[in-house]
Structure 1
């Protein structure tokens, strides 16, 4: 079932995250969000300039930029920056190792992040794996939802950080447990505390049972936003009460689940 605008409004989500390897990002035109982030999944999936320009004419668009990757390296090959038209913002990240070569993975992150922010001072910074460096920039912090996010953001605010904090979370708008595990089970299973708790060789989808199912079910609520629109809205409200400014939902059951009917 597709989510209506009314249901999405109840979630309190501020933006949607799209993966260009999974969908045509132009479908964001039909989404009831003003802000859309587009994940980097390798240069072969980078949307073309005209597509990004058309989106940016209607939406606040931010493209994830791995600062160690050739084409986006501000201290080396930066040729892909030219593919990003005016009006498209950036989320600077260290870069997922799956999309980086061995040479790219060995490059220093901090100086590249600094150079990238000099180039685009309004850019966001993805904090995964580089939390201290990201905080030191003072830029918008783009965090992956975890079981400690609420506590961590409260601590960040208590320490005096007054910049913007955005949180990214796979989102599943159903309370059907099998559907939840099929959508985010594999994702949460990759998080280190979950991987340690899972039995060896356990399935990570709806076929999981026993201890594995219990671990995955609990982790889905820690590392993703799942449940009815109202339940997701309550979780988002908790995050914002802790000091989160923006919550970005990735439609883990596919873009259709976030489209207007």
Structure 2
């Protein structure tokens, strides 16, 4: 059930790397040893062109995140972009973040579109964020965001008899420098509901955080991201696999240089 682990040229074994096309040239993934790449969706304008995806797919196992409610990827409407993705490029099917959707797109029903899209792409992973029950009902591999309960939740799924693949997406910062960690993923952790509620009003969420805010964030970034030196992160990755995770997908929050 567990995937073959890929070891970076650096220090930690990850199964895949997630890249954001607005932050880097996704072709840079060709220069690292991790064989699987997940390209995040950051809006239609930033979506990589067919040639870029084909170049990546010639050397890597590539998946692209596609929001089933968005024009271009809607299996019940405009699916032109989806059909233009080169053969051999897989999907991570998601409901779609509201920030990247129009009002009309946000109003579309998720469940039937996920059902249709998994029928069209039977090897797709399905993102669980906000639609956990619907995602599980598809029977497709589950693509989850790392959280404080991930290990417990995965163990529960396995104990209940779920035998499909589970992938976990984790922002990753390979450093012991606490200011650098908070600069990279403090704001990300602060957006999680429990963290946001625990933070003082108008608190800094980066390396400038102090007092109660810094205390909350320093714990939260370790719940919602993989942070620390190589040994610390490796131990966390091993614990995730021991719990039943098949694919640990690292998003290098400080850039690809953190992984090489």
TM over 0.5: yes
Give the ranges of 4+ consecutive aligned residues of structure 1 lying more than 4 Å apart after TM superposition. none
TM-score using structure 1 length: 0.96
Given that residues 9 and 33 in structure 2 are in contact (C-alpha distance below 8 angstroms), is that contact kept between their aligned partners in structure 1? no
User: For 1:205, what is the secondary structure of its paired residue?
Assistant: coil
Q: In the alignment, which residue of structure 1 is the partner of 2:10?
A: 7
* Structure with higher RCO (Cα < 8 A, 6+ apart): 1
Aligned 1:59-208 pairs, distance under 5 A: 59-208=60-209
Q: In the alignment, which residue of structure 1 is the partner of 2:50?
A: 49
Q: Equivalents in 2 of 1:154, 1:108: separation in Å?
A: 30
Q: In the alignment, which residue of structure 1 is the partner of 2:254?
A: 253
Gaps in structure 2 of 5+ consecutive residues: 1-6
Q: Equivalents in 2 of 1:256, 1:6: separation in Å?
A: 11
Across the aligned residues of Structure 1 and Structure 2, the Cα RMSD in angstroms comes to 1.0
TM-superposed CA distance for 1:153, in Å, is: 0.3
In the alignment of these two chains, the number of paired residues is 254
Aligned 1:209-248 pairs, distance under 5 A: 209-248=210-249
Gaps in structure 1 of 5+ consecutive residues: none
User: For 1:62, what is the secondary structure of its paired residue?
Assistant: strand
TM-superposed CA distance for 1:55, in Å, is: 0.5
TM-superposed CA distance for 1:13, in Å, is: 1.2
